[in-house]
Amino acid sequence: MENVTRVEIITDALEMREVCALLESLGVSGYSVIRDVQGQGERGRQLGDELTDVFKNSFLLAVCEPALAERVAEALRPILQRRGGICLLTPARSVRH
Amino acid sequence: MENVTRVEIITDALEMREVCALLESLGVSGYSVIRDVQGQGERGRQLGDELTDVFKNSFLLAVCEPALAERVAEALRPILQRRGGICLLTPARSVRH
Amino acid sequence: MENVTRVEIITDALEMREVCALLESLGVSGYSVIRDVQGQGERGRQLGDELTDVFKNSFLLAVCEPALAERVAEALRPILQRRGGICLLTPARSVRH
Amino acid sequence: MSFDLLLTNFLNPPILFFFLGMAAVLAKSDLDIPQPLPKAFALYLLFAIGFKGGVELAHGGLQPGVLKALGAAISLACVVPVYAFFILRRRLDVKNAAAIAATYGSVSAVTFIAATSFLGQLGVVSGGYMVAAMALMESPAIIVGVALCRLYSAAETGGVAHPSLSWSHLLREAFFNGSVFVLVGSLIIGAITGARGAQALLPFTDGIFKGVLCLFLLDMGLVSARRLAGLRKLGAFPLAFATLIPLGNAALALLVAKSLGLPRGDAFLLCTLSASASYIAVPAAMRAAIPEANPGLYVTMALALTFPFNVILGFPLYYSLIQRLWS
Amino acid sequence: MSFDLLLTNFLNPPILFFFLGMAAVLAKSDLDIPQPLPKAFALYLLFAIGFKGGVELAHGGLQPGVLKALGAAISLACVVPVYAFFILRRRLDVKNAAAIAATYGSVSAVTFIAATSFLGQLGVVSGGYMVAAMALMESPAIIVGVALCRLYSAAETGGVAHPSLSWSHLLREAFFNGSVFVLVGSLIIGAITGARGAQALLPFTDGIFKGVLCLFLLDMGLVSARRLAGLRKLGAFPLAFATLIPLGNAALALLVAKSLGLPRGDAFLLCTLSASASYIAVPAAMRAAIPEANPGLYVTMALALTFPFNVILGFPLYYSLIQRLWS
Amino acid sequence: MSFDLLLTNFLNPPILFFFLGMAAVLAKSDLDIPQPLPKAFALYLLFAIGFKGGVELAHGGLQPGVLKALGAAISLACVVPVYAFFILRRRLDVKNAAAIAATYGSVSAVTFIAATSFLGQLGVVSGGYMVAAMALMESPAIIVGVALCRLYSAAETGGVAHPSLSWSHLLREAFFNGSVFVLVGSLIIGAITGARGAQALLPFTDGIFKGVLCLFLLDMGLVSARRLAGLRKLGAFPLAFATLIPLGNAALALLVAKSLGLPRGDAFLLCTLSASASYIAVPAAMRAAIPEANPGLYVTMALALTFPFNVILGFPLYYSLIQRLWS
Ligand SMILES: Nc1ncnc2c1ncn2[C@@H]1O[C@H](COP(=O)(O)O)[C@@H](O)[C@H]1O
Ligand SMILES: Nc1ncnc2c1ncn2[C@@H]1O[C@H](COP(=O)(O)O)[C@@H](O)[C@H]1O
Ligand SMILES: Nc1ncnc2c1ncn2[C@@H]1O[C@H](COP(=O)(O)O)[C@@H](O)[C@H]1O
Ligand code: NA
Ligand code: NA
Ligand code: NA
């Protein structure tokens, strides 16, 4: 098993495409996305009930080596500032194929 | 980056409104919810295939400071006892805007 | 509160039934599943837009005692090899009813 | 029960699709109708049946006969949970007995819709006010069930009562439950709109109705067959209750209908309403009001036993009784 | 405004279902129409209205009158955001002013559809080319709004500009937004197909149209009532703007329509288009192009105020004005 | 291939909506039809086509001609994967060759439905039993493909075989796959119900059919265009195979149809069935039975190449051949 860092990102659903592009540009090789997430935060309630996904969040989990995870977190800061949301780093161990 | 605690709560979907109210009353400032979660536990299988969401779970993630997280976990105990489910605390580091 | 291990599994949606059966056979007493997860990995992009859920992942979270978690991770290896995906172990503390 | 009626029922496409759904689960097919599609079908059916009922109600007016029938419907919905509760108490604790009693006192909208489809096969008419009767039967049993629960569980336990639901919250759960709201709202809108305005909605509310019902019952077949495995764990008493109490409730409703002189179609609908068990409005309310009661018990009984029982055997049985009593 | 028109509007089932949705939220019912069902209704409505508009357009042809009307529509969509911006600038910062200006310059397809349903109640006809007018009015305001934003925010801040959206990306957001794409695509396909080919689609595009509209407006009622609570936080200026600017935009459109000699039905539709505010095409584009603007402001205003205002009071008001001016 | 046929095909709204979907992806529009809506459309289409086929089958009866045609259909479904496998083996490993062979031996229900819509445009009738033919062609190729895989991969590897799927499990995957189940179930229910009972379902199964087909093909356009980018990675051989093998399979089916003396419409449908490749029933079965095969290969070929190829060029081509051979 490998020591890895779980990077969790919750932000505006419409921003996720850009977040994925950012991750890929930083060399993250894999990630998983849950598209429909509701939430509460500084920007108020996100009910996800709008036709355009303006009040909806998405959740992304990327597992990568610890050093890369730090870089990802740093690079996300401007996006989180602009659009809101949160990024979490947690150490974990992983099994891959 | 801040040291925080991830609080994860999985419980009956119909209970989530109450859980959110509880969190807010305790001073949790943000959380995210995934509404449709299936599960298996003591109360049997929750397939989420019912019209009323009686056999469905939801998932909530709240990131907060460690001390608050402990209070949240304690306050949740009666709800979990009545309705089933689980609450997890994990230490993590977070980036916010 | 108990010390536990969070076991997270992301793999092909069509494989989840088998993964659940495996977990139950190993004595895991509870788990939660999020069915619709998109992803990017070695096997390319999984958009979840196909009628048959061939390009879709699911996410499973099982909370169990640390020793059992290790056994689960080991037992999952062949499935992850065949179908792709990832398994993560993270230590946490849990409240149950 | 005449073989003809059984056959008429079996050859009705919605019932056949219900069987198809059950067959899919038994054959271990991976057939699945993911949420929220079944919710969409249910929303549509409640909308259509409510709206059409409202239009007919406006057309027919609130004649004395109608008011009597509505009164009878409410009375049934209040009386059934009471005797059901005392029967159930012989074997079950107060909370579960109360929740199951509420389930059987209330009604199943889908059973009602399937029953109108059965009447349609036979060419028998029924009054639009029966939709109002159904709507009125949804909620009272919830109140009765919770009242019984509170009355008797105070006695049972000394009671480390957890903060219990306020009555105002409970009334909201009972009367403003989402599906009750759509049904009653559509009924009222239909009554306001009237026949002329309803014309433009006909292809939607009538044209595609039976087709959507087929798809919905396909899903019901899947869902109830999935619950069949859980039946064994329930024990003999709940099984017996779930198949016998509909007969009792149907019989009671028949007597009431006969004594009021309701026409055949309406008598049949009242009878199936009384025999049916709620798995939409009641479970949601019970989870909130009596959280200690086991939904694995009251939902499974209603969904995996009483619904198929009524739809497959109940309809021809009840109608054959009506044929005898009414002729 | 004549009482008759108000009543005609209120008794239209889609409007009644809009009220029902609002009532459900106010009564704290748990009624919910989960996504993606509302998206399905919207997809259907855009498809049907676009396709039918295209068929009629092909039938009527692009006569000079039609071209004039289309030109007027585009002009309105370009002019409205400009004056709206300067009104808004008196109280709001550049970014929010620009986003709201774009919102009110663009149009609401659902308001348009509800307006055609209102005309249907009155038995007034309208031209298929008005759908094309609507489609043409969706995007220009987005461009105008962003241009105003860039022009004036360069002046306002010295500007630690974050990497701003390229114009090509912006044009794509404006013109290839999913709902605009379906609407315009269906319009073109309808025009290609023509009346003969459209026949086979009639039960879909016409038959069930009003029913789906009812369900969609039921959801709109839910969604906009949920936002009502947030209105208080917005302050008096946005509230006033959201209910007064539609009147100004409607008046302007009426003048234009009158001067072009548009028939009543078309004048009414142009007027409601101008009065309406976008909450589908614009919000998606604004999130990308002006991320600092607050959607809690521009979406809430359009959805919780301007939409209900137009649909409930605006329709009868605008039409009564037309009745006077056109007679 | 006559230009007229090409045009007739292109002007069919469902095909135009397929193009619209592809255009949306190419124009980088954010248009998206989120699951489970496409699943709902597919469920509806399988339900409607199955039910209507069953009704017609009951009406026409199982005449000797019908039985011959059904036999031919099954034979094609068994023979095609065998020769496809050996062609594919020249460049691909056993597992991928077997999975692709199964894909092309089986059929695409959506292609079939689009083909019936094409016939409708031309005013050519076809027999309801062809739906049964389609249903019978879904599963055999799965069995043949897996059998070939097991036969030849034992030879290829010494084989650290992982626990392979039991045959009983495999048969279940092949015959009780959800979409096959709905199709066959609806066919049987249609046959039981017969013409009289089907009347009440007509507005659902017929009225809105073409409209739903348009929306479904809009989504198919999106989905297949998204896969186009992945085509380049596949290499020349799969590309060539995916566009050439349909021609071979169609030619074979034409010969068979001609020798059996099938009427034009039925010959055309048999031909498109044979030319089509499965992306519903087969992928699900292959993921379970041959997990090492790459769905990025067999699904992408079927979805992004063979489906558009058949629907855009194949239909007019095959039909023009029939016009020559049958006259
Ligand atoms: N403390 C938190 N814990 C979990 N999720 C959060 C937290 N804060 C924000 N979020 C998520 O991020 C979204 C945007 O946050 P904000 O920008 O604070 O409104 C919220 O709607 C939540 O889904
Ligand atoms: N050990 C566990 N790991 C993950 N999820 C669990 C676990 N136990 C329970 N759950 C979730 O909580 C729900 C209710 O649990 P229970 O009350 O044990 O039936 C289950 O349906 C699961 O979704
Ligand atoms: N590093 C990762 N972090 C998060 N999820 C991953 C990662 N790698 C793979 N996955 C998930 O597992 C699925 C299958 O992975 P793969 O077998 O690498 O294609 C992907 O589509 C993702 O959803
Ligand atoms: Na009852
Ligand atoms: Na406007
Ligand atoms: Na084929």
Smallest CA-to-CA distance from E131 within E209, E210, E47 is with E47
Instruction: Let me know the angle formed at the C-alpha of D42 by D38 and D47, rounded to the nearest 5 degrees.
Output: 150
Both structure tokens of D303: 């969904």
Whole-number Å distance, alpha carbon C71 to ligand 5 midpoint, is: 62
- pLDDT, tens only, E107-129: 999 999 999 999 999 999 999 89
Partner D contacted by F38 (CB < 8 A): no
Q: Judging by DSSP bridges, how do beta strands C86-95 and C2-12 pair with one another?
A: antiparallel
Smallest CA-to-CA distance from C44 within C54, C34, C59, C33 is with C54
pLDDT computed for residue D178 by the predictor: 92
Whole-number Å distance, alpha carbon E281 to ligand 5 midpoint, is: 12
CB-CB neighbors (< 8 A) of C54 in chain F:
283-284, 287, 295, 299
CA nearest to F46 within chain D: D215
Whole-number Å distance, alpha carbon D324 to ligand 6 midpoint, is: 57
Chains adjacent to E (≥3 CB pairs closer than 8 angstroms): A, D, F
Mean per-residue pLDDT, F10-24 = 94
State in Å, rounded, how far the first CA of chain F is from the last one. 15
- D108 forms beta bridges with none
Task: Flag whether pLDDT at D79 surpasses 80.
Answer: yes
Report yes or no: E216 and E42 within 8 Å, Cβ to Cβ: yes
The residue contributing the CA closest to ligand 2 atom 22 is B39
**Closest CA of chain F from D68, distance in Å:** 33
Q: CA F318, CA F327: separation in Å to the nearest integer? A: 14
**Closest CA of chain D from F174, distance in Å:** 10
Work out how many CB contacts closer than 8 A connect D with F. Answer: 82
In the block, residue with structure tokens 């939607």: D204
- Residues D176, E12: C-beta atoms closer than 8 Å: no
Partner F contacted by D71 (CB < 8 A): no
Q: CA D326, CA D322: separation in Å to the nearest integer? A: 6
- pLDDT, tens only, A38-72: 999 998 889 888 888 888 999 999 999 999 999 99
Partner A contacted by B97 (CB < 8 A): yes
CA nearest to F233 within chain C: C44
Ligand 3: atom nearest CA of C38 is 23
CA nearest to E212 within chain D: D204
pLDDT computed for residue F1 by the predictor: 63
ipTM: 0.95
| C-alpha distance from residue C47 to each of A2, C51, F222 (Å) | 27, 11, 12
Mean per-residue pLDDT, C2-29 = 95
In this complex, the residue of E36, E51, E203 whose CB is nearest that of residue F37 is E36
pLDDT computed for residue B1 by the predictor: 86
The mean pLDDT of chain F is: 92
Task: Flag whether pLDDT at F26 surpasses 70.
Answer: yes
- Residues D181, E27: C-beta atoms closer than 8 Å: yes
- Residues C87, A95: C-beta atoms closer than 8 Å: yes
Q: Which helix or strand (DSSP H or E) is residue A41 part of?
A: strand A31-41
Mean per-residue pLDDT, B65-90 = 94
pLDDT computed for residue D195 by the predictor: 87
Q: In the structure, what pLDDT confidence band is assigned to residue F143 with cuts at 50, 70 and 90?
A: very high
In the block, residue with structure tokens 């119909």: B14
**Helix/strand/coil (H/E/C) assignment for every residue in C73-97:** HHHHHHHHHHHCCEEEEEEEEEECC
The model scores a pTM over 0.90: yes
Mean per-residue pLDDT, E308-326 = 95
CB atoms within 10 A of CB F60: 13
pLDDT computed for residue E1 by the predictor: 63
pLDDT computed for residue C97 by the predictor: 64
Does E touch F (3+ CB pairs < 8 Å)?
yes
pLDDT computed for residue E8 by the predictor: 85
Mean per-residue pLDDT, E234-243 = 92
Q: In the structure, what pLDDT confidence band is assigned to residue F160 with cuts at 50, 70 and 90?
A: very low
CB-CB neighbors (< 8 A) of A44 in chain E:
230, 296
- Residues E185, F23: C-beta atoms closer than 8 Å: yes
pLDDT computed for residue E75 by the predictor: 97
pLDDT computed for residue E157 by the predictor: 61
CA nearest to E29 within chain D: D176
Task: Flag whether pLDDT at F162 surpasses 60.
Answer: no
Task: Flag whether pLDDT at A86 surpasses 90.
Answer: yes
pLDDT computed for residue F156 by the predictor: 65
CB atoms within 10 A of CB F64: 7
- pLDDT, tens only, F201-225: 999 999 999 999 999 999 999 999 9
Q: CA D272, CA D107: separation in Å to the nearest integer? A: 9
Whole-number Å distance, alpha carbon E220 to ligand 5 midpoint, is: 18
- C9 forms beta bridges with C60, C87
- Residues C41, A24: C-beta atoms closer than 8 Å: no
Helices (H), chain D: 3-10, 13-26, 37-60, 64-89, 94-105, 109-122, 129-138, 140-156, 167-175, 178-198, 202, 209-234, 236-260, 264-275, 281-289, 295-300, 307-309, 315-326
Chains adjacent to B (≥3 CB pairs closer than 8 angstroms): A, C, D
- Residues D296, B43: C-beta atoms closer than 8 Å: yes
CB atoms within 10 A of CB A26: 16
Rg over CA atoms, chain B: 14
pLDDT computed for residue D160 by the predictor: 45
Q: Which helix or strand (DSSP H or E) is residue A59 part of?
A: strand A57-64
- Report the residue among B40, B45, B54, B83 best suited for mutation to probe ligand 2: largest number of ligand atoms under 8 A from its CB: B40
Any idea which ligand is nearest the CA of C13? Answer: 3
Smallest CA-to-CA distance from E227 within E175, E283, E187 is with E283
pLDDT computed for residue D88 by the predictor: 97
Residues of chain A with pLDDT > 90: what percent? 76
In this complex, the residue of A38, A40, A80 whose CB is nearest that of residue B35 is A38
Task: Flag whether pLDDT at E160 surpasses 50.
Answer: no
Q: In the structure, what pLDDT confidence band is assigned to residue E230 with cuts at 50, 70 and 90?
A: confident
Partner B contacted by C31 (CB < 8 A): yes
Q: In the structure, what pLDDT confidence band is assigned to residue E288 with cuts at 50, 70 and 90?
A: confident
Task: Flag whether pLDDT at A92 surpasses 60.
Answer: yes
- Residues C83, F162: C-beta atoms closer than 8 Å: no
Is the alpha carbon torsion for F300, F304, F310, F311 positive or negative?
A: positive
- pLDDT, tens only, D88-105: 999 999 999 999 999 999
- pLDDT, tens only, F224-276: 999 888 888 888 999 999 999 999 999 999 999 999 999 999 999 999 999 99
